[in-house]
Amino acid sequence: MTETVKTALQQALFRHKTEQEGSKPRPLAERLNEIALRCAALPDCDKRSADDIFGYDEDGLPR
């Protein structure tokens, strides 16, 4: 499935759940926290240090 189809299905499911519950959508902070938790659970594929990623040497200077 493409990302567009997945997004459309997620939005439709959210609208359906909201209509079924008869309640307001969840607060933005709650939704953002849920996204943050899902992202934090993802594997760390880049094992470089933050300095290596940003391009700084051991003295804190750009390489």
- Asked if the structure places residue 46 within a domain, the reply is no
For 6-55, write each residue's pLDDT tens digit: 888 888 888 887 776 666 778 999 999 999 999 999 998 998 888 888 88
Q: Which of 52, 11, 29 is nearest to 63 (CA)?
A: 52
Q: Which domain holds residue 19?
A: 1-39
Give me the number of domains the chain comprises. 1
- Asked if the structure places residue 26 within a domain, the reply is yes
What pTM, to 2 d.p., does this model score? 0.41
- Asked if the structure places residue 45 within a domain, the reply is no
Q: Which of 39, 40, 56 is nearest to 48 (CA)?
A: 56
Structural contact between residues 29 and 22, judged by C-beta atoms closer than 8 angstroms? no
